Each structure stands twice: as C-alpha cells, then as structure tokens.
C-alpha cells in the first residue's frame, strides 16, 4: 500500500541560485545544502535541487503541484503576480495558479482545506512516458489507483490518496507544462520490498538503497519506496 510523497528532485544547474529562488518566492526552509544538492521543506515533502552529475538525476521541465491553504490563495496570487505571468485554472471549486521556476519547471500552487501556513506539501507530480498504456499498467501494479482515464487525450491520473500521479505522453498541458523526464521521487509504502516485487519483471532495475527500495521504471524515472 502506497501513501504520501516523501520527495521530488529537480535537476538545476546551480543549486544555490535555485535555492534562493524557492526561498524568496515560496518561502521554503532549507534543510541541508551542499554545492551539489540542496534539500528544502515543502511542507511534509522534500524538494531536492540537484546539480547534474549524479544518478539518479533530478527531473527536467517537471510539472508538479504544491498545496496552500484556501485562506491564503488570494495572498499568494497577488504576491506572485507582481513577478510572474501567472496562469490560473479552476478544478471544480478549487483554484490553482501556475508559474515557472528558473529551470523551466512548471510550479502549481493549489488551494486546499488544510491547516498550517504557506506551502504544506506536494499533491501532484507529472511524468512524461513513451508508452502510456504500459506505464499505466506498471504504476497500477505498484498500487496507484486510476482516478481519471484520459488515454484518448494522452494522459491518465492515478492516486495513492495522498499523491496524484499524472502520466503524460509527450504533450503540453495547462500553462504549456510538460511532464518531467528522468524524475527522481519517493513515496511512502507499507511494505517497500513486497511492493517492488510486483513490478520487478518490468522494471529496468530494482535496488535496495539506504532510504528504501529504488525502482527504475521503463521510462527511466526513479521511484524509491520508503518505509512508513
């Protein structure tokens, strides 16, 4: 059983500059920082900013979505609108705003009925895949549940309940966002080893690492299952 996101990693040329961006505009706290990688707190999720040179690499042109409290949405919109050409979209009664960071990643801030202040966590991540039906089969075997079948449009949406995962064929989405390539992300799993065994025959690699069990999917994305 899968639950909450643990981290998402973005590849950046200069971690110090990207860190300054996220500190200034999203007010994220820095947990650790080296010349090669910075780790920031996006609520309960880590945002890892990694320089080129290590494997797994961080994701490129990744679209991902962070949660902010409903009561703060207008404040965030007004604040960011001074600096960015924002795109706004409404999903039912929930609003989201979109803008781009220094590396071309599309950042979404979505209002939710949550406690706390500022960014409270990651709720959506988009992966670009070559073979959408095969990727859908792979991630449902891992334990993601299909919640929106848009295969005719080149996209599907899956969920653990705490994290929505979108799989996109190469395409442009809202705000011209793209799914990330070679994304490195972590998800909490009740039993990482048995969960990984469900896709071992189809994965490019399954490896035990310090943080849990790392799976490399057929599109080259790295998903690490970490214990609760």
For residue range 24-34, what is the model confidence (pLDDT) as tens digits? 999 999 999 99
Q: What is the pLDDT of residues 94-110, one digit of tens each?
A: 999 999 999 999 999 99
Tokens of 48: 């890892």
Q: What is the pLDDT of residues 114-130, one digit of tens each?
A: 988 999 999 999 999 99
Cα distances (angstroms) measured from residue 145 to each of 139, 177, 180, 195, 222: 8, 23, 20, 14, 19
Q: How many domains, the chain?
A: 1
**Residue 54: predicted pLDDT:** 86
How far is residue 209's CA from residue 221's CA, in Å, rounded to a whole number?
16
Tokens of 167: 């799989």
Instruction: Tell me if 63 sits within 8 A of 179, measured CB to CB.
Output: yes
Model confidence at 148, pLDDT cuts 50, 70, 90, reads very high
- For residue 140, being part of any structural domain is answered with yes
* Cβ count within 10 A of residue 140: 15
Residue 92 burial (10 A CB sphere; 0-12, 13-18, 19+): exposed
Integer-rounded Cα Rg, in Å, for the chain is 17
Q: Which of 84, 228, 69, 71 is nearest to 160 (CA)?
A: 228
- For residue 13, being part of any structural domain is answered with no
At 124, which CATH number? 3.10.180.10
- For residue 37, being part of any structural domain is answered with no
């Amino acid at each position: 059983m899968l639950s909450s996101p643990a981290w998402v990693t973005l590849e950046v040329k200069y971690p110090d500059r990207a860190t300054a961006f996220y500190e200034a505009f999203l007010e994220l706290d820095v947990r650790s920082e080296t010349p090669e990688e910075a780790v920031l707190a996006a609520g309960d999720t880590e945002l890892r900013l990694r320089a080129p040179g290590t494997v797994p690499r961080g994701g490129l042109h990744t679209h991902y979505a962070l949660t902010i409290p409903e009561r703060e949405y207008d404040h965030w919109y007004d604040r960011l609108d001074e600096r960015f050409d924002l795109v706004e979209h409404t999903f039912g009664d929930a609003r989201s705003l979109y803008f781009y960071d220094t590396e071309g990643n599309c950042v979404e801030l979505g209002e939710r009925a949550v406690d706390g202040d500022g960014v409270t966590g990651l709720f959506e991540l988009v992966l670009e895949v070559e073979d959408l039906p095969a990727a859908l089969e792979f991630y449902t075997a891992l334990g993601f549940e299909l919640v929106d079948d848009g295969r005719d449009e080149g996209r599907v949406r899956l969920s653990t309940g705490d994290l929505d995962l979108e799989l996109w064929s190469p395409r442009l989405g809202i705000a011209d966002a793209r799914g990330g390539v070679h994304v490195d992300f972590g998800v909490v799993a009740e039993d990482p080893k048995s969960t990984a065994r469900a896709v071992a025959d189809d994965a490019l690699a399954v490896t035990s690492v310090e943080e849990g069990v790392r799976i490399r999917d057929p599109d080259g994305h790295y998903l690490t299952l970490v214990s609760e």
